[in-house]
Every structure is written in structure tokens, then in C-alpha cells.
């Protein structure tokens, strides 16, 4: 078996931090095709099947499953449809139903190993531990025998009260160096489950002491909780202090630290109190690991659903499921998962912040603003202030946006390069609030921090052109931006408009046409192209572009509709070219990257 890399999941942002060991890639053929493909087989009950297909394509998976089940009633031996059903049901957490259809599929010759995993998960939940072992023995493939099966089997033995077999089975993972941290974590939990605190402490202490072993947030929770209820609270505090500087986990670490500080051995109990809760940890780790392979989102979706089936109160698993749903652009469904996380959970604030971001993606700015404002009452997180500032800016409330951007900057421990976006965003609000001097100062600061990021170059250069100032420098900034991002419609528009503003109309048309192709629904670009056409004598095309601009949504409220109407009525377009140094501008033109 190729080397595995244990992937630690830091759930605050649901990002993965990898070690340097090569990991065996996981492909759909390793586990069977774990995500259903839509079939057009004429053998299906056509009406129900087509309704299921429509729901499926719309990502309405619950209804898709229901319609497919209806189709199965008239075509119960259709293997492909059965596969679709048990996989979709699993993704929706309907594991009891999924297990039934998985067994039917197996009876009809389905060779998908994942069908047996579903059945094993259902048997474990029902405390049918002997059946779990029999089911797992029927599963072949290295990824199962060396990784997935030992985790599930160990907890089934634990449920049956057989600690020795549980640890012996789990020991398979210890043979692979990159899975050593995972082995020790589950061995510690199994020993803790059997009240063998001495053995559990040895396992946990090894994770803590060996620098080569990565510490996940979940392991930190479990180990700190263990130290607390075993009267070793100073160890718990020392351990959490070791990791509190992690930026990605700042809020969750802070809340965990406070929880430890105010806890006592008397009011602290074990986290893992049943075999299905232990199995939930196993499925969670499997989901986090497999997610990094080919088809990772599909695999993670399935296994994290199994984790929540075994332990519905597992908040970190719910965060991961929500993240998977966000990757599928299912933001409403992701928010439903966030709403199920309790206020007392270390993950609550993180979940609510993610929910607010999803509301923005759903264009529900009012709800996003309301939620973010409520979160600021309990947190001075710079990211929260930035996000709230963005929502306020989009809603046109520039004064309030400036206030929160300023709060974000104020609460930064130290201004670093990646904070350029804060100054850039505040600069936009200053500019839109007619406070150009302050806007310009922020844009220049953002330029330095970002090392001349093209979005900042473009905005500052375009703003100078609008004001008729710093023509040569503005042109230089826009050319630099274009050379960085020649396929960004807004940047290409700025370059075309820069040529227009200095009276070079043929070049203006060249780049504005390209911008229009890249951003066909951008009203401002259409208006600019219309003006350029007019100045080149292409008057009918100009009128078409102006009318087109009026028909489009102006997201940034930059379009002067009255002026466009006037141009259509009078046919008058005025443009007094800006004065400039021809030699300097030509030098900048010569630097423009040539399209292939």
C-alpha cells in the first residue's frame, strides 16, 4: 500500500493542513461510484423517474430520492435506480432507508463496497455488533482493509465490550506512519471509553509530545476534556495555550479555552460515551481524509452524513457537512446545518459567521447585515467587521461601512500584507462617499501591502481618469493591471476607457469590444463601448450599445441613465481628451501584453 498522509481538519474554516508524506489518491473506482449518475433508461417508471431526475439536477436531493423510490415500486429490480436511491438517501442522512435499498441492490448483484458500509453503519447504530463484523469482512480493497474497515470494526468491538479486539483491529492503522496520529487518537478514545485512563493518557500524551504528529481541533477538544475530568486541568490549559495563536481557529480556540477555564472535574464528563459516537468520529476522520482525493466532495458528503447519523449532536461534523454543501453551491441547505449548532458550542460563532456569508451569496443582504450586527455584540473579530462592512457597502450605506472597516483595521494585532483588502474596501467606500483624499490614501496603502494587486491598480487608475488627474500615472496603473489580468472584463474596460479619455478612439474600441465579450451583461461597459463607437463614426452600433446598457442591471449604480437618454435623443457625445505626455503614454502602450 502506498504511504498515506493523515489529514488534520481545522474546522473553523474547514481547511486541511497537510504533512509532507505522499498519500494514496482515492478515486471513485476505489470505493465504487459513490455519487449517482442520472440515467435515461426507458425501463424506469417514466413519470416518477423524470420528476426525480429534475429534482436531482436541481440539487433537491430529498425529493429526488422520494421520486426515485416511487419509480422503484414499478421497477424494483433496476440496479442503477437502486444505486441512485441508496446513495442519495445516504447524502441526506436517511441512513435507515438507505441501508434497506443497499441490501436490495446487493441481493441483485451490486458490487459497490460502499453499499456494505451503509449497511454496517446501520447495524452499528442498531447495536448489532456481530453483524457489523460480518458485513465488513465482505468488503475488499486496500482503502477498506487498511483504513476504513479497521476504524469501523474497532468501534463495533468496543460496543460489544471487547476492548482487546477493538485495539488489535485498530492497530492496523499504526502500521502506516502517516496514520499514526489517527491511530493514537482512536486508541485513546477506546481506552477512555473503557475507563482505562492510564492507557488513554499514554495515547494522548504521545500525540501531544511528538512534534511530527498533527493535532486536530477535535483531538484538542477530546484531550483537554480528558485532562479536565481526570483532575489534570493545568495540563489542559497548557495544551490549549500552545495552540491559541492559530489564526484560522482564533474564535473556536478562545471559546474552548474559556470553557476549560471555567470547568471543573465534577462538572466534566467523557465526550465519547457510546460505540456509535466513537463510530461517528471514525466516519468524520474518513470524510476529512477522502475529501482530498479525486471526487473528494462526493466522498466527504457520504461519510460525513454517516458521521451525523451515528451522532446527530456532533457539531464539527455538521460544520464539515455545511462546507460540503457550500462547495455544491447549496447555501440554503448549508445554513440549515449551521442553525442546528447549539449556542453553547465552540463552533456556534463560526457557524453563524459562515451563515451570514451564505446569506450574502444568496443576495439576502438585509438578513446578512442583521445577523452580522448581532455577532459584533460578542466579538471584535476583524473578519466579521470586514464582512459587515462589505454588506453595508453593497447596500449603499457607505458611512456605516467605513465605520466597520475602520473597526476591523483597529482590531488587527499587526497590519500584514494580506490585510490590503481592508484598506482597498474602505477606500471604495470613501470614494463612493465623496471623501477622495481618504480614499486615495487607502488605495495607495493597499497597493503597497498587496504588492500592486491588479484590482487596486485598476480601481485607483480608473478613479484618477474619472477625475481627469494624474493621466500618465493612471494609464500606467491600468496597463499594469491589464498585464496581470487580461481576461478580467472590468480591467479590460478600464484600458479601453483610458484610450477613450486620451482621444485614441480606435484602440478604445478594440479593448472595449473585448471587455464587452468578457462581461456581456455589464451596463457600464456597454455605455463605454457605445461612446467609443460614436467617436469612430459607428453611430448605429453606438445607439444599440446605449439601449443595451439601459436594459441591463447596474450593480454598482455607476450608470448615468439620464445622460444615455440624452445621447440617444440628441446624438451628441462630448469628450475633451485629457492632456498627456505623448512619449510617456506611448512607452506605456508599448508595454501592453499582446493577445495570442
Q: Judge whether residue 45 has pLDDT over 50.
A: yes
Cell numbers 447555501 correspond to 331
d(CA 565, CA 434): 25
Residues 6+ apart with CB under 8 A from 168: none
pLDDT band at residue 244 under the 50/70/90 scheme? confident
503, three cell numbers: 482621444
568-579, pLDDT tens digit by residue?
Answer: 998 888 889 999
Residues 6+ apart with CB under 8 A from 49: 67, 68, 71, 81
Q: Which of 575, 589, 576 is nearest to 528 (CA)?
A: 575
180-192, pLDDT tens digit by residue?
Answer: 999 999 999 999 9
Instruction: Give the residue-averaged pLDDT of 447-466.
Output: 97
Instruction: Give the residue-averaged pLDDT of 502-508.
Output: 96
271-308, pLDDT tens digit by residue?
Answer: 999 999 999 999 999 999 988 766 688 889 999 999 99
405, three cell numbers: 472597516
Query: Which one has a higher pLDDT value, 69 or 293?
Result: 69
Q: Judge whether residue 35 has pLDDT over 60.
A: no
Q: Which residues partner with 17 through β-bridges?
A: 8
Q: Judge whether residue 12 has pLDDT over 50.
A: no
Instruction: Give the residue-averaged pLDDT of 506-523.
Output: 96
* Three-state DSSP class for residue 195: coil
Please give the mean pLDDT across all residues of the chain: 89
Q: Judge whether residue 38 has pLDDT over 80.
A: no
Predicted local confidence at residue 293, as pLDDT:
64
Predicted local confidence at residue 379, as pLDDT:
80
pLDDT more than 90, % of the chain: 79
Predicted local confidence at residue 595, as pLDDT:
65
End-to-end CA distance of the chain: 46
370, three cell numbers: 442583521
Predicted local confidence at residue 387, as pLDDT:
92
Domain boundaries, the chain: 452-590
Q: Judge whether residue 34 has pLDDT over 60.
A: no
Q: Judge whether residue 24 has pLDDT over 70.
A: no
Q: Judge whether residue 539 has pLDDT over 80.
A: yes
d(CA 331, CA 229): 39
Predicted local confidence at residue 295, as pLDDT:
67
Of 136-150, 234-248, 252-266, 459-473, the poorest mean pLDDT is in 234-248
Instruction: Give the residue-averaged pLDDT of 12-33.
Output: 30
pLDDT band at residue 555 under the 50/70/90 scheme? confident
Q: Judge whether residue 7 has pLDDT over 50.
A: no
Q: Is 162 left (phi over 0), alpha (psi -120 to 50) or beta?
A: beta
**CB neighbour class for 337 (10 Å; exposed up to 12, middle 13-18, buried from 19):** buried
Task: Looking at the structure, give the CATH architecture of the domain made up of residues 452-590.
Answer: Alpha Horseshoe (1.25)
**CB neighbour class for 274 (10 Å; exposed up to 12, middle 13-18, buried from 19):** middle
H or E element that contains 15: strand 15-17
Instruction: Give the residue-averaged pLDDT of 487-509.
Output: 97
Predicted local confidence at residue 1, as pLDDT:
31
90-131, pLDDT tens digit by residue?
Answer: 999 999 999 999 999 999 999 999 999 999 999 999 999 999
380-408, pLDDT tens digit by residue?
Answer: 888 899 999 999 998 889 999 999 999 99
Q: Can you say how many angstroms the Cα of residue 287 is from the centroid of all Cα atoms in its chain?
A: 15
Amino acid at each position: 500500500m502506498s504511504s498515506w498522509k493523515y489529514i488534520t481538519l481545522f474546522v473553523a474554516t474547514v481547511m486541511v493542513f497537510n504533512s509532507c508524506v505522499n498519500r494514496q489518491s482515492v478515486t471513485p473506482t476505489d470505493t465504487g461510484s459513490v455519487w449517482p449518475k442520472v440515467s435515461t433508461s426507458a425501463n424506469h417508471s417514466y413519470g416518477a423517474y423524470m420528476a426525480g431526475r429534475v429534482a436531482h439536477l436541481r440539487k433537491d436531493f430529498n425529493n429526488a430520492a422520494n421520486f426515485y423510490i416511487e419509480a422503484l415500486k414499478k421497477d424494483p429490480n433496476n440496479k442503477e435506480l437502486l444505486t441512485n436511491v441508496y446513495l442519495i438517501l445516504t447524502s441526506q442522512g436517511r441512513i435507515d432507508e438507505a441501508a434497506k435499498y443497499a441490501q436490495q441492490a446487493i441481493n441483485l448483484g451490486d458490487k459497490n463496497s460502499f453499499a456494505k458500509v451503509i449497511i454496517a453503519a446501520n447495524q452499528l447504530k442498531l447495536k448489532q455488533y456481530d453483524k457489523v463484523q460480518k458485513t465488513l469482512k465482505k468488503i475488499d480493497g486496500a482503502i477498506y482493509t487498511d483504513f476504513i474497515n479497521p476504524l469501523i470494526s474497532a468501534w463495533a468491538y468496543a460496543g460489544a465490550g471487547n476492548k482487546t479486539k477493538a485495539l488489535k483491529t485498530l492497530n492496523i492503522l499504526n502500521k502506516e506512519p502517516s496514520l499514526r496520529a489517527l491511530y493514537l487518537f482512536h486508541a485513546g478514545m477506546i481506552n477512555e471509553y473503557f475507563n482505562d485512563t492510564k492507557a488513554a493518557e499514554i495515547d494522548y500524551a504521545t500525540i501531544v509530545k511528538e512534534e511530527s504528529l498533527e493535532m486536530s481541533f477535535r483531538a484538542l477538544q477530546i484531550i483537554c476534556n480528558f485532562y479536565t475530568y481526570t483532575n489534570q486541568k493545568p495540563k489542559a490549559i497548557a495544551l490549549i495555550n500552545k495552540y491559541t495563536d492559530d489564526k484560522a481557529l482564533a474564535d473556536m480556540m478562545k471559546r474552548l479555552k474559556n470553557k476549560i477555564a471555567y470547568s471543573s472535574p465534577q462538572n466534566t464528563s467523557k465526550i465519547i460515551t457510546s460505540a456509535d459516537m466513537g463510530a461517528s468520529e471514525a466516519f468524520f476522520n474518513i470524510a476529512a481524509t477522502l475529501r482530498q482525493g479525486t471526487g473528494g466532495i462526493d466522498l466527504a458528503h457520504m461519510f460525513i452524513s454517516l458521521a451525523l447519523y451515528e451522532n446527530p449532536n456532533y457539531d464539527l461534523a455538521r460544520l464539515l457537512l455545511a462546507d460540503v454543501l457550500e462547495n455544491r453551491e447549496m447555501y440554503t441547505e448549508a445554513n440549515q446545518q449551521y442553525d442546528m449548532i447549539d449556542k453553547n458550542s465552540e463552533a456556534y460563532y463560526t457557524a453563524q459567521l459562515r451563515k451570514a456569508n451564505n446569506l450574502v451569496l444568496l443576495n439576502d443582504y438585509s438578513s446578512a447585515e442583521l445577523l452580522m450586527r448581532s455577532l459584533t455584540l460578542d466579538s471584535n473579530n476583524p473578519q466579521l467587521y470586514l464582512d459587515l462592512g462589505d454588506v453595508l457597502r453593497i447596500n449603499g450605506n457607505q458611512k456605516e461601512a467605513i465605520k466597520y472597516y475602520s473597526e476591523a483595521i483597529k482590531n488587527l494585532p499587526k497590519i500584514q500584507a494580506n490585510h490590503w483588502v481592508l484598506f482597498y474596501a474602505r477606500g471604495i467606500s470613501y470614494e463612493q462617499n465623496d471623501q477622495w483624499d481618504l480614499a486615495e490614501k487607502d488605495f495607495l496603502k493597499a497597493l503597497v501591502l498587496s504588492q500592486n494587486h491588479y484590482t487596486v491598480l485598476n480601481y485607483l487608475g480608473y478613479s484618477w481618469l474619472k477625475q481627469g488627474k494624474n493621466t500618465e500615472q493612471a494609464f500606467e496603473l491600468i496597463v499594469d493591471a491589464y498585464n496581470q489580468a487580461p481576461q478580467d472584463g472590468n480591467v479590460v474596460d478600464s484600458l479601453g476607457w483610458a484610450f477613450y479619455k486620451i482621444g485614441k478612439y480606435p484602440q478604445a474600441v478594440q479593448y472595449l469590444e473585448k471587455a464587452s465579450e468578457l462581461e456581456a451583461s455589464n451596463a457600464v461597459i456597454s455605455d463605454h463601448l457605445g461612446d467609443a463607437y460614436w467617436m469612430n463614426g459607428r453611430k448605429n452600433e453606438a445607439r444599440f450599445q446605449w439601449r443595451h446598457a439601459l436594459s441591463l442591471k447596474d450593480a454598482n449604480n455607476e450608470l448615468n441613465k439620464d445622460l444615455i437618454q440624452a445621447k440617444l435623443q440628441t446624438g451628441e457625445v462630448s469628450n475633451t481628451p485629457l492632456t498627456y505626455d505623448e512619449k510617456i503614454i506611448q512607452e506605456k502602450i508599448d508595454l501592453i501584453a499582446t493577445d495570442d
